[in-house]
Structure 1
Amino acid sequence: MSIFDDLFIFEMANSHQGSVEHGIDIIKEMGKISRKNNIRAAVKLQYRNLETFIHPDYKDRTDVNHIPRFMSTRLNYEQFTQLVEAVREEGMVTMSTPFDEDGIDWCMDQGIDIIKIASCSSLDWPLLEKAATTGKPLIISTGGKSLSDIDKIYNYFTHRKCKFAFLHCIAEYPAPLEHLQLDFIDRMNKRFRDVTIGYSGHEDPDDNTVTMLAIAKGAKILERHVGLPTQTIKLNAYSMNPSQAEKWVEAALKAKVICTTKKQNDKYVSQAEIDSLNSLMRGVYCKRDINEGETITRDDVFFAMPCNNKQMNSGEFYEGVVARKDYAMNSELHETRKITPTKLARSVVHDAKGMLYEAGIALGNDFEVELSHHYGMQHFRQTGAIIISIINREYCKKLLIVLPGQKHPTHAHKVKEETFQLLYGDLHVVIEGQEIDMKPGDIQTVLRGEKHSFTSTTGAIFEEVSTTHVKSDSYYDDVRISSMDPMERKTILKKW
């Protein structure tokens, strides 16, 4: 699990009024919420060295936005250290937004867990350069940034091999609903697949529908400003008091329950759901008396409710089923659908097409599909691969699909040299005994004569670019495969 996943960030509103005591009170309230709801939570501070952050001629100016507030709520390094220790004592993640290079040094000296880059600083290249050298996990807000800007930030930190996350953010305080653009979370998740995407909200603190929608859109991090009103302290229009913060957390957790797929890599279907649908299905009934051994056609049956236990349903019926016993007119048909090689092939084709859809890979209309089943179609999901030939000239391009848990056995080519690039999923390749775990984007070349095999845990799609493919140029270690005619272990599909 990433340090970013399912993280709630409590950002101290209005710099906790420049009071260590008040800041600790806020931290303790957030600690209570964190423990009560058993969440991973961070309290975020803000660091600025005001001696250098503000130009000397402006420090006493009251007509420049933000400067009076910064000056009136200033804390020194030792005071911030007290707040950091209070966060640790509450069992929460320590986090700060440094607005200058000295602030980054403070984060490092205090051992802050996560460094946050504010939206206003996300194109501040001198600051980003120093942040990139820390080795700390970074969370970067993207308020006011175009997609092109975000691409630049992504490339900058990716090239430096930093661990970072993005927050979708609308930098208006408070942010009107019509400006929130939560659909952009979808876009960021698709565009930056290796980066955790979250949401930093500035909308009405009582409106938790936004939080639930952000979860539904795929936000894994949530951030809100929090504070503690007193007789002399009033919160601004976008900050939450402890009661609102707790309701915010509860709404987010509820949304996670609603949105989470319970079964890994598949959709969970409950028995209650199955029973409900089965009660509405049509069963197969005989229109006439049918004798054992007769071939049953569509004209011999009708479909009607109810469908009873062990009765064939309308979706299972197929033309040509052979009666295993005598049936009277209007009686239930109790036959089973045969598992034929054709049915097995159709099943794996559906799975392969689904993987292509999920990976966003379009094939076009001109290709040939080979089901490579080395030990028979009945064992295909254990051993084999789906090979899609797209071009075969002096150069060759194929897409190979490996189903979850499937293995392609050890073999070599005498004529063909090939290079794999993983596009989707995970791929474990063995070349001449050397084991290689590939991740999307990785490239691996297999030279002529090199023995190789591959398998996948969750399923994989990879591109093979090679010299011309020549039939019968695959030489397998297993003599059972080598002794077979190639067409005995292949099923060719012109269309699917």
Structure 2
Amino acid sequence: MEAFETDTHTPPHVCVEMSGNHQGRLESALQFVDAAHQAGADSLKVQVYRPDTITMDSDREDFRVTTSENDWASYKTLYKLYEKAHTPWEWIGPIFEHAKSLGLTVFASPFDPTAIDFLEELDCPAYKIASPEIVDIGLIRHAARTGKPVIMSTGLADRSDLDLAVEVLRETDTRFMILKCVSAYPTPIDAVNLSTIPWLAETYGCPAGFSDHTLGPEAGYAATALGARMIEKHFKLPGDDVSVDAAFSMSLDELADFKTGLARIHSAVGAPTLEIPEISRTSLSGKRSLYVIKPIAKGDTFTSDNLRSIRPAHGLAPRYLDDVLGKRASRDIAAGERMSLDLVEKS
């Protein structure tokens, strides 16, 4: 995946997360793939788990959903939520096959080792470790042993969690990327702390990006300006208001404009330079330089009354003004002449 390249001359890779936004129908999932491809997604990601591989069927307090951020609490327990949200494993093959037929890169978030084994049979090109699973060292190690690149989100990781996960990946020289993430759905714009992105890249010596759970495009744009190499964002089919993650997902009919905005922001960031761009060269005459503003006779003294820094830029640079003031003119000079050192009488 080109997202793992450190070449910052290209806009960030946009990964479209399907998550549970398939309305419980394979037909909708395949329509999602079509819409993502048509809108210009760089890759599509699916989540591969079963309710009993991600949690257990229990209504004990520990397993109850109590969030007030969205309507997940209506499912009462984690098991019921994931039962509704999961993508049936028998759909994963058709989704992969359809995406590949369109030339769309497709990969997955596995939530337990059996999911990785299943995805290996589909030649999954990379694995994404979700924020809650970043502490599951066995899962990370299992993914690393495939030899595929690994992407990790930081949403629920503290520094020690992330250090350990990176250490495990480096045991097998696994290529990896870290995505800044906040595990709140949706994430308030003032909680994303995107300045972490360049810190992640520098600290861990890897590409860094942003797993975006905010509403709207703005955080993605800011992440791009800070060097994000991947923007992962939840999307939904246009008009979908029933899927479990629809409330905090961007509509796929907004993806093309989102990508255009990311590309424009990336283009604006450019590279550190003080070189004057070609497009500005026609404005160089607007710079200031030294001009004689009153007639000066040969032998007269240059003063602030007859020599000034003004536009345009064809005369001597203003930095030499103090060197010239008090010196004598080598010849008669008309008002409006460009100042030059040969107009100064040699001492």
Query: Shorter-chain TM-score: which interval?
Result: 0.7 to 0.9
Per the alignment, residue 211 of structure 1 pairs with 220
1:23 partner amino acid: A
Distance 1:54 1:144 in 2: 17
Match among 156, 162, 184 for residue 196 of structure 2: 184
Cα drift, residue 275 of structure 1: 3.9
Amino acid at match of 1:244: E
Could you say if the C-alpha distance between residues 317 and 135 of structure 1 is closer, same or farther in structure 2, counting changes exceeding 3 Å? farther
Residue 8 of structure 2 corresponds to none
Match of 1:223 among 229, 232, 239: 232
Q: Distance in 2 between matches of 1:73 and 1:306?
A: 66
Amino acid at match of 1:282: S
Partner Cα distance (1:244, 1:252) in 2:
12
Cα offset, 1:87, TM superposition: 1.2
Task: Name the residue aligned to 1:240.
Answer: 250
Give the corresponding residue for 1:201.
212
Summarize the Cα distance change of 1:52–1:169 in structure 2 as closer, same or farther, 3 Å threshold.
closer
The equivalent of 1:41 in structure 2 is 42
1:269 is matched by which residue type in structure 2?
I
Q: How far off its partner does 1:126 sit? A: 0.7
Worse-matched range after superposition: 107-116 or 68-77: 68-77
- Deviation at 1:141? 0.5
Superposed CA deviations along residues 19-62 of structure 1, whole A, max 9, x for unmatched, are: 2211100010010011xxxxx6111011125565544778xx99
Structure 1 residue 273: Cα displacement: 2.8
Q: Residues 7 and 316 (structure 1 numbering): CA distance in 2 closer, same or farther, change over 3 Å? A: farther
Match of 2:127 in 1: 115
Alpha-carbon distance in structure 1 between the residues aligned to 2:28 and 2:308 = 72
- Aligned-partner SS, 2:135: coil
Q: 1:67: which partner in 2?
A: 79
**Map 1:408-427 → 2, pairs under 5 A:** none
Judged with a 3 Å threshold, the aligned counterparts in structure 2 of structure 1 residues 284 and 48 are, in CA distance, closer, same or farther, namely: same
5, 8, 12: which one pairs with 2:14?
8
Asked if 1:133 is matched to 2:140, the reply is no
CA distance, structure 2, for counterparts of residue 316 and residue 148 of structure 1: 58
The alpha-carbon deviation at position 246 of structure 1 amounts to 3.0
1:179/1:301 Cα in 2 relative to 1: closer, same or farther (>3 Å)? Answer: same
**In the alignment, structure 1 residue 26 sits paired with structure 2 residue 32:** yes
Could you say what the CA RMSD is over the residues aligned between the two structures, in angstroms? 3.5
- Aligned counterparts of 1:232 and 1:56: Cα–Cα separation in 2: 27
Note the alpha carbon deviations across 1:468-495, whole angstroms, 9 max, x for none. Answer: xxxxxxxxxxxxxxxxxxxxxxxxxxxx
Equivalent position amino acid for 1:273 in 2: S
Contact kept in structure 1, 2:100 and 2:106, CA below 8 Å: yes
Alignment of 1:133-172 (within 5 A): 133-172=145-184
Among candidates 105, 110, 116, match of residue 93 of structure 1: 105
Aligned-partner SS, 1:44:
strand
The amino acid that maps onto 2:202 is: K
Report the identity percentage: 20
Question: How far off is 1:179 after superposition?
Answer: 1.4
Q: Kindly tell me: are residues 133 and 305 of structure 1, through their superposed partners in 2, closer, same or farther at Cα, counting changes over 3 Å? A: same
Instruction: Quote the Cα distance in structure 2 between the aligned partners of 1:49 and 1:290.
Output: 94
- The alpha-carbon deviation at position 319 of structure 1 amounts to 4.4
Q: Is the 8 A contact 1:9 1:44 kept in 2?
A: yes
With over 3 angstroms needed to count, the CA separation of the structure-2 counterparts of 1:267 and 1:115, relative to structure 1, is farther
**8 Å contact from structure 1 (residues 284, 314) kept in 2:** no
Secondary structure in 2 aligned to 1:315? helix
Normalised TM-score (structure 2): 0.78
- Structure 2 CA distance, aligned partners of 1:301 and 1:273? 31
Q: Secondary structure at the match of 1:162?
A: coil
Would you tell me which structure has more strand in proportion to its own residues? 1
Larger RCO, structures 1/2 (Cα 8 Å, 6+ apart): 2
Instruction: Name the SS of the counterpart of 2:318 in structure 1.
Output: coil
Count of residue pairs the alignment pairs up: 318
Structure 2 match to 1:314: 318
User: Equivalent of 1:250, from 239, 247, 260?
Assistant: 260
Structure 1's consecutive aligned runs of 4 or more residues displaced over 6 angstroms after TM superposition are 296-301
Q: Which residue in 2 is equivalent to 1:273?
A: 280
Q: Is the 8 A contact 2:235 2:249 kept in 1?
A: yes
- 1:125 deviates by 0.7
SS for the counterpart of 1:110 is coil
Aligned-pair distance for 1:136?
Answer: 0.7
Find the aligned partners of 2:303 and 2:147 in 1 and give their Cα distance: 68
* Matched position secondary structure for 2:246: coil
Conserved 8 A contact 2:48-2:110 = yes
Shift of 1:304: 2.7
Say which structure is richer in helix: 2
Per-residue CA deviations over 1:433-472 (Å, capped at 9, x if unaligned) read xxxxxxxxxxxxxxxxxxxxxxxxxxxxxxxxxxxxxxxx
Residue identity in the other structure for 2:217: N
Distance 2:319 2:157 in 1: 52
- Give per-residue Cα distances to partners, 1:276-314, cap 9 Å, x unaligned: 3531413254985569xxxx99999833323353x3221
- Separation (CA, whole Å) in 2 of partners of 1:72 and 1:237: 15
Distance 1:286 1:105 in 2: 82
**CA shift in 2, pair 1:3/1:304, >3 Å:** closer
Aligned to 2:71: none
Cα pair distance change 1:290/1:248, threshold 3 Å: same
- Distance of 1:238 and 1:92 partners within structure 2: 24
Task: Give CA-to-partner distance per residue, 1:45-100, whole Å, 9 cap, x none.
Answer: 11125565544778xx9976331233345555442111001111222111100000
Change (3 A) 1:27 1:268: farther
Aligned to 1:425: none
Structure 2 unaligned blocks of 5 or more: 6-11, 65-74, 343-347
Q: Are 1:174 and 2:186 counterparts?
A: yes
